[in-house]
Amino acid sequence: MSIEIKISKRRISYKIAMKHLLKRVEQVKKNKDKELLWILEHPLTYTAGIRSNNKEIIDKKIKIINTNRGGKITLHNPGQKIIYFVLNLNKRKKDIRKLIYVIEKSIIEFLKIYKINGKKDEKNIGIWVNKKKIAAIGLRISKWIAYHGCSINISNNLDQYLKIIPCGLDNQKITSIYNENGVIVKNIEKKLRNIFIKNISKI
């Protein structure tokens, strides 16, 4: 199946990204556009999924954007890569667990490039390194169109997590590639694209 690949070099605001993503979802539902894989970064943004609550906000001064993805409150900021999808499972396998497995597998493969051993957790969705979360996954399915996606902490400011309880977790238990190995990672978009496209093709 044909997937449009978008790689944004400049940071895209969360609201603008969601506007484009939701428009693509409606177009894919009507078979009027291609599926989408979109790699980007957001400016500093806190978002709340459908399972979040106000107790997870430590700093009451921060602005929270409500979203229809699964999960709780999380952070997006510069140095974190976002991979958004719009995938038509009507034309693939109608298997949400398989989709999540493919996303997890792709993140783990990407981390191995930088000698980081990422692992799944049976109780908590996402990818973990030494019991610290390095990647988050949040999806929504509408008429078997899967959208939203995942985020991977590359070299972002982890202190900004201290203002929330991210994904319902201890906010000290978040990490990044830079935090793990001190490597400044650059020009990673093509690596992410190749890994995700390879694995998505198997759904």
Residues marked as catalytic: 167
Structure tokens at 68: 């229809």
CA gyration radius, the chain: 16
Alpha helix positions (H), 54-147: 96-112
DSSP character for 134? E
Helix or strand run (H / E) with residue 77: none
Please tell me what DSSP assigns to residue 56.
G
Say how far apart CA 194 and CA 187 lie, in whole Å. Answer: 13
- How far is C-alpha 190 from the chain's CA centre? 16
DSSP state letter for 55: G
Residues paired with 132 in a beta bridge: 129
